[in-house]
Amino acid sequence: MSKKILILNGSPKLEGNTTTLINWFCEGAKQNKADIEIVHIASLKLKTAGCNSCRACQKIREYKCVINDDAQPVLAKMAEVDVIVMGTPLYFFGPSAQLKMIMDRMFSLYKWNNEAGTMDTPLKGKTLVLLVSAFEDIGLDITEKPFELTAAYTKMAFKSLLVPNAGTSGEIHKLKGVREKAIELGQFVGAR
């Protein structure tokens, strides 16, 4: 049975460095016959800019955001796959706003019982992969930290590929070894 991989492309550019990284990752994952779906976050029609803190998701049994927009099926798919890949360019020492909006809505995939001090989530045991392309070589560690902490808190395996000095769109092709690293990561994560 092949691994199911959901890739969230947080770049507003469909042919930029982040998309190139994602495509290279897919090359490797496909070698293991992984079942891959890519969602271009910038094309989603969202009713709110991130989580609006209504906490209605905590009052229902399902792991579901109650805001009925294009994020809802994406969040549902996150609960169904083996691997969640988040790709983003580095913008002002963090992920793109498009990806951050989906991350905030992930709140609906957790159920807290504050009295018992427990937390349940269908994300536990999955793998979270972060792919980041940066124009320069500053801020990658800061960008990676929230994803790493989310994975640890959720008890997900975590892998990342952070690419400094990728330059402007298309220049990532000039960097030696990056394509190979992305393919290798895709192979590793896509293996059963």
Q: Identify the domain containing residue 49 by its residue range.
A: 4-190
Question: Tokens 């469909």 — which residue?
Answer: 14
pLDDT in tens, 135-184: 888 888 889 999 999 999 999 999 999 998 787 888 888 889 989 999 98
CB 44 within 8 A of CB 50: no
The DSSP code for 83 is: E
**At a CB cut-off of 8 Å and minimum separation 6, what does 58 contact?**
111, 112
Give the chain's domain count: 1
113-146 per-position pLDDT tens digit: 888 888 899 999 999 999 999 888 888 888 999 9
Cα separation of 146 and 126, whole Å? 17
> What CATH number did the domain enclosing 42 receive?
3.40.50.360
CA quadruple 77, 13, 103, 31: dihedral sign: positive
